[in-house]
Amino acid sequence: MMFFVLCGLLLYRGIARWMTGDQSQGFQGEFEATSHGAAARNVEIRSLHSAVSLDATMRDIDLLHGVELGAMRDDSVHLHLAAPSVDLDEVRRFLPSLAFLRGEAGMEIEANGLFGDVQVRRLHLRTRSSTMNLAGSVRNLHDPLNLTLDVVAGDTKVELSDLARLMPEFRIPSFAKTGAAALSLEFNGKPLDFKANASLSGSFGRLAVRGTLDLTRPRPAYAGTFDAERLSLPAVTGDPSLDGSLTARGTVEGEGFVPGSMRNTLDMTVDTSRVNGITLGAS
């Protein structure tokens, strides 16, 4: 979810670069630049597969005499962006750090603050089968290598299968049988190396996790704790031969998500559960 915040906050900085390509289908707006700031109002952008409208202002920036990204830390910024349809392959044209994304999304963002510490007041995100509402902060936009996010999500419904479609290179399990889930989330860290506290509940049961995930490695590395309640094994694993449900808590540390190549250490305490007709008690 953090990568969509960046799409919005950096969009106005990448418009010129995007529009000089061959994807442009329409571009209009009102623009103003002085030695004390810049503004873009009533901007409408259309490409082959995306539609974006935005209003953005930035004080204390002098576009007339050139811009150095590192010097923009304390510049004041305000952004409202509405994008009912965004092709993430096109977004990668001016945000290479999001090269791992595929597919389409829609979003609406309201954000303001300093360029080095932007407060995201509201982010409404829609993917193929999910709707998310988030708020938080984005720090170090002036220093992209150290960019960090502090985000919370509530009133959110997700399809876990969207993760595999949006980020195929990470080989995340498809979760095709889990269905819709209610999600609460706290996220802190870099876009691909972060801490998270999340709770999911749906027809597959309930799962709460707290831990770290590093997606910068060839095989994603993770560590944390979990608490599962009546978790449907065939829904979560995708294996219909593994019948039953699991109630347990424990810790896990490892690398990779694909059976056969993943390596992990699991310490688990099982409560009343049933697996392939066998009833398990606390152990």
Q: What angle do CA 218, 88, 157 make, to 5 degrees?
A: 90
pTM comes to 0.73
> With bands split at pLDDT 50, 70 and 90, how would you rate the model's confidence at 99?
low
Range among 28-42, 99-113, 206-220, 226-240 with highest mean pLDDT value: 206-220
Banded pLDDT at 155 (limits 50, 70, 90) = confident
Task: Report which residue type is found at 125.
Answer: L
Instruction: Band the pLDDT of 23: cuts 50, 70, 90.
Output: low
Residue 29, Cβ density class (10 Å: 0-12 exposed, 13-18 middle, ≥19 buried): middle
Cβ atoms of residues 105 and 89 within 8 Å: no
Cβ-based burial of 112 (10 A; exposed 0-12, middle 13-18, buried ≥19): middle
User: Would you say residue 19 has pLDDT above 60?
Assistant: no
Residue 14 has pLDDT above 60, yes or no: no
Query: Three-state DSSP class for 225?
Result: strand
User: Is the model's pLDDT at 144 over the cut of 90?
Assistant: no
pLDDT band at 95 (very low <50, low <70, confident <90, very high): low
The pLDDT of residue 255 is 92
Residue 214 scores a pLDDT above 70: yes
Where do we find the tokens 């004080």?
A: 59
Does 119 score more than 90 pLDDT? Answer: yes
Contact 158, 130 (CB under 8 A): yes
pLDDT (tens digit per residue) in 31-61: 888 888 888 899 888 877 788 888 989 888 8
Q: What is the pLDDT of residue 149?
A: 92
pLDDT of res. 16: 45
- Among candidates 241, 238, 252, 249, which has minimal Cα distance to 273? 249
Residue with more model confidence, 98 or 83: 83
Instruction: Kindly state the percentage of the chain with pLDDT values over 70.
Output: 86
Residue 94 vs residues 99, 128, 217: alpha-carbon distances, Å: 10, 23, 23
Please give the span between the terminal C-alpha atoms of the chain, in angstroms, as a whole number.
37
Residue 1 has pLDDT above 50, yes or no: no
Query: CA 58, CA 78: separation in Å to the nearest integer?
Result: 6
Report how far residue 254's alpha carbon sits from residue 31's, in angstroms, rounded to the nearest whole number: 50
List, for residues 227-271, the tens digit of each pLDDT value: 999 988 888 877 778 888 889 999 999 998 777 778 889 898 988
DSSP annotation of 223: E
Alpha helices, DSSP H only, in 20-160?
Answer: 88-91
Our CA angle for 207, 243, 270, nearest 5°, is: 50
